[in-house]
Amino acid sequence: MINIGEKVPDFTLESTIGYDVSLNDYKGKKIILYFYPKDNTPG
């Protein structure tokens, strides 16, 4: 579990247009990560 204010480990995901995006690509910049567990569910 990651808590507010903690550093997260680097990860890479495929973008919606097919190329890889890595958290490391934004090193030194402020970003907001938002995860919502009910995406693509009826809930």
Report the pLDDT value the prediction gives residue 24, as an integer from 0 to 100. Answer: 92
Count Cα neighbours of 19 within 13 Å in the Cβ-side half-sphere.
2
Q: Could you read off the pLDDT of 2-40 as tens digits, one per residue?
A: 888 888 889 999 988 999 999 999 989 988 877 777 777
Q: What angle do CA 26, 8, 23 make, to 5 degrees?
A: 25
Report pLDDT for 20. 95
Q: Residue 21 and residue 27: Cα distance in Å, rounded?
A: 12
Beta strands in the chain (DSSP E): 12-14, 20-22
The residue with greater pLDDT, 42 or 23, is: 23
d(CA 18, CA 15): 5
pLDDT at 43: 64
Is the whole-model pTM more than 0.85?
A: no
